[in-house]
Amino acid sequence: MKTEPPTCSVHPSFLSPHPSSPFSGSYDPADVTFLLKPVRLAPTDVAEKERLIQSGRRHYSEMISAERLPSAAYLDVFHRALPRVRARFARDVLALAARLAERPGGVTLVSLARAGTPVGVLLARALRGVFGVPAAHYSVSIIRDRGIDEVALRFILDRHPAASVAFVDGWTGKGVIARELSAAVAAFNARTGAGLDGGLYAVADLCGAAAAAATGDDYLIPSAVLGATVSGLVSRSILNADVVGPGDFHGCLYYEEFAPHDLSRGFVDDISAEIVRQAKTFTPPPPPDLAGLRRASAAFLAAVRDRAGVRDPNHVKPGLGEATRVLLRRVPDRLIVRDPHAPDVEHLLVLAREKAVPTETDPALPYAAAALIKELDG
């Protein structure tokens, strides 16, 4: 999986299947079908995007900032972290696959693009290869305050029974997307009579919002460290009426020019091999205490809002995965870590140094890390 780090930033380009034709990104087509429409959309500067979002003039899904390849220092953190967390992550994917394998008949995995995509690939491989369960895998868009892509849902339901569908993601932070999923699926069912289960299956459920999870611990899920280059060269999803029509899948950028640095296939091959190795002696762990996680999440959010004076709860991002997203594509106010010497936060400290983001240490933090988005005036 080792690749030479880039020496310059690269901006998005376009690769064009038919506007609403499924494609597999840089993955093997047997691993995933993206129900996303590759589009052209000029990038918005991060600071300008933040200003437009917070002023209410634009929704975040209407814009996207240029994604850049990681620095050599940041990429090195990923390569050093992977061997350290490989066994834990593989065990948790295997545990979640075991829960999914209990469902009668085959499973149609619907991962939430894009963080859920590598997890969906791994779950599908584990279901087929370890548990002997037929598994299809699609990756679809869900957007906060806009819901799930119903064009994609209809595409799936034309091909698979509703009872087989299971929605999957890598982790939860505050549970916003889990709640968005539940509400959007319930509304879709009410209109169509589809009978989909809107519960979320997540590897790490930090706030007790998932229907099923392997763990409630905040640890470094390795695919959270990188962006497109570990997610099939696909961007986060886009919902902008200038490029996405009523009958289209939600949009995305496809970073074809990142291909020389792509780790997507190598990453899932690496973890899949560890899953197969562990499967010989695997014993399912006890499920996490979801009620306890919900209490801890509510207490944390109340405390940090009071302490930091945060007006908008959407600007509080708990957990390693969510903190990474803030530092990569938002305007951070600060990074908070429980232990600055912990290996799991090393990549965040690299990003914070590169972007001059203030960092605080809070030994009482219930998560390994959290980040606050800078609140702008006006």
Verify that 231 and 352 share a domain, yes or no. Answer: no
Question: What range does the domain containing 135 cover?
Answer: 33-279
Flag whether 21 is in a domain.
no
| Three-state SS letters, 226-238 | CCHHHCCCECCCE
In a domain, 28, yes or no: no
**Same domain, residue pair 243 and 322:** no
pTM assigned to the model? 0.92
Same domain for 360 and 258? no
Helices (H), 330-372: 346-355
pLDDT per residue over 207-233, tens digit each?
Answer: 999 999 999 999 999 999 999 999 999
Residue 20's pLDDT is what?
Answer: 58
For residues 193 and 328, membership in a common domain is answered with: no
User: Residue 7 domain-assigned?
Assistant: no
pLDDT digits (tens, 9 = 90+) for 191-200: 999 999 999 9
Helix (H) or strand (E) holding 96: helix 72-101
The answer as to whether 14 is a domain residue is no
What's the structural domain count of the chain? 2
DSSP 73: H
Query: What is the spatial distance between Cα 207 and Cα 212, in angstroms, rounded to a whole number?
Result: 12
Please indicate, yes or no, whether residues 197 and 333 belong to a single structural domain of this protein. Answer: no
- Choose the final residue of a domain: 225, 245, 279: 279
User: Is 37 within 8 Å of 249 (Cβ atoms)?
Assistant: yes
Residue 377: phi and psi, rounded to 5, are: -90, 130
Structural domain contains residue 335 = yes
Residue type, 318: P
Q: 51 with 107, same domain? A: yes
Of 321, 302, 228, residue with least CA distance to 36: 228
List of the chain residues with pLDDT < 70:
1-20, 377-378
Cβ-in-10-Å burial (0-12, 13-18, 19+) of 42 comes to: exposed
| pLDDT for the residue 295 | 95
pLDDT one-digit tens code per residue, 248-269: 999 999 999 999 999 999 999 9
Do 141 and 148 form a contact (C-beta atoms < 8 A)? yes
pLDDT at 13: 31
Residue 284 falls inside a structural domain:
no
In a domain, 226, yes or no: yes
- The answer to whether residues 160 and 108 touch, using CB atoms and an 8 Å cutoff, is yes
Q: Which of 279, 298, 325 is the last residue of a domain?
A: 279
- Residue 61: CB atoms within 10 A of its CB come to 20
Instruction: Give the pLDDT score at 17.
Output: 37
Q: Do 148 and 268 sit in the same domain of this protein?
A: yes
Please state, in angstroms and as integers, the Cα–Cα distance from residue 18 to each residue in 7, 15, 22, 23, 49, following that order: 33, 10, 8, 9, 29
Same domain (yes/no): 262, 369: no
Which CATH number do you get for residue 311?
Answer: 3.30.1330
pLDDT at 15: 34
295 and 263, same structural domain?
no
pLDDT recorded at residue 9? 32
Residue whose structure tokens are 């996490």: 288
> Do 223 and 302 fall within a single domain?
no
Last residue of a domain, one of 279, 310, 340: 279
Token pair 């999914």 in the structure block, residue:
100
- Contact, 208 vs 292, CB < 8 A? yes
258 and 328 fall within a common domain: no
Q: Which of 200, 13, 22 has its CA nearest to residue 116? A: 200
**Whether residue 191 sits in one domain with residue 87:** yes
Q: Write down the residue that tokens 């470094």 correspond to.
A: 220
